[in-house]
Amino acid sequence: MKKKKQKNSAQRRIYFYFILSTAAALLVALLTATALEFLFTRLDIISLTPLQDKGWYWILIFTFTSIIIGLILASLLSKFMFRPINTVMDGMERLAEGEFSTRIDLGKYEGMQSLARSFNTLATELENTKILREDFVNDFSHELKTPVVSLVGLIGLMKNETLPEAKRRHYLDVCESEANRLRNMTESTLYLSRLESQSILTDRTKFNLSEQIRECVLLLQRKWSAKSLSLSLDFDEHYTVGNEDMLKQVFINLIDNAVKFATDKSELKIELEALTDTEAGAGHNPPPLRISVTNEGEEIPAGERDAIFQKFYQCDSSRSTEGNGIGLSIVKRIVALHNGTVTVTCNEGKTTFTVTLP
């Protein structure tokens, strides 16, 4: 209520200043005209003989009548002229109070429409930011709760002095695992937050994409060897321009994810190829590159294939301890910064993640 009174007071001040300035202009004009008329009369340049008896009387009437009419007109004009300003002020006030669903309409004039579009775009961005912030806080709080509760419970158990040494060591190992999971989730979340706030891709260089993918495979050798996976790397040498460190994170995440959900002793296939002119369309020189990572295992349900790119989403709750649900969100954001796309398809027990880079 107090803010509304302040807003109305500000509007009244605007009206007052506009009317006052209009009246002052009218008064100055009339006084100037009167002074000139008096001067010309004294110098016998003009004559007021026909109105000699009541000339000044009519001038006064004319002056005050003009001022009154001017004030009335100024008041009416101010309401019309300041209507868009009032609408914007009302909208800004509602945004300041947290009503980010506010939208305004300033009529059909091009200039006013442009102002309304700018305001509505601002309101939309604020609304989206609010939604993202609330979702992030809720999701992060939920994911943070699980390892914290586990750590608290295990530490409580280890306080038991009669606990066998073997169980104590086992609980310590679990505590270490949960602490590492908590650290990885925090680091990944902070990294994703930085990516989401970044709109311009920096540190672009030309590098050998084929060699980078081979390096990622070597870095994850321990994991795919533990599951006895057979690797199929089918590609020639291809170069691309982008942020090398970011793209390395993309392929580490995708390959690690493929290994994690692959069936033991199955095949892990990675392909890299340049799109044909028919696939890429006209105007691409050099043509875009397509990278596919395919594993054999349980397919992702059709209704969840879009959701897996959301923060903290895990469609396989039985393996939730193996990740934090942020890796694919990072992949999607990095690929988007490179103006590329990432998709997932499932067919005959195989899951394929495909990245296309311009």
Cβ atoms within 10 Å, residue 209: 22
Residue-range definition of the domain harbouring residue 266: 204-357
User: Are residues 183 and 296 both part of a single domain?
Assistant: no
Number of domains in the chain: 3
User: Are residues 64 and 164 both part of a single domain?
Assistant: no
Q: Which strands sit side by side in the sheet containing 289-296, from one edge to the other?
A: 230-234, 267-274, 289-296, 350-357, 341-347
What is the model's pLDDT at position 54?
52
Instruction: Find residue 356's DSSP bridge partners.
Output: 290, 341
User: Are residues 142 and 107 both part of a single domain?
Assistant: no
What is the model's pLDDT at position 293?
92
Helix (H) or strand (E) holding 343: strand 341-347
User: Are residues 190 and 214 both part of a single domain?
Assistant: no
Task: Answer yes or no: is 287 within a domain.
Answer: yes
What is the model's pLDDT at position 247?
92
Residue ranges of the chain with per-residue pLDDT less than 50: 51, 317-321
CATH number where 271 lies: 3.30.565.10
C-alpha angle with apex 91: 88 to 97, nearest 5 degrees? 145
What is the model's pLDDT at position 119?
83
User: Are residues 50 and 78 both part of a single domain?
Assistant: yes
User: Are residues 324 and 269 both part of a single domain?
Assistant: yes
Token representation of residue 31:
């006084």
What is the model's pLDDT at position 319?
44
Which of 76, 98, 124 is where one domain is finished? 124
CATH number where 156 lies: 1.10.287
Task: Answer yes or no: is 130 within a domain.
Answer: no
Q: Say if pTM beats, i.e. exceeds, 0.75.
A: no
Region at 349 (left for phi over 0; alpha for psi -120 to 50; beta for the rest): left
3-state SS class at 316: coil
User: Are residues 264 and 212 both part of a single domain?
Assistant: yes
3-state SS class at 206: strand
User: Are residues 246 and 150 both part of a single domain?
Assistant: no
What is the model's pLDDT at position 4?
54
- Render pLDDT for 193-230 as a digit per residue (tens, 0 to 9): 777 666 677 788 999 999 999 999 998 899 899 999 99
User: Are residues 322 and 187 both part of a single domain?
Assistant: no
User: Are residues 209 and 352 both part of a single domain?
Assistant: yes
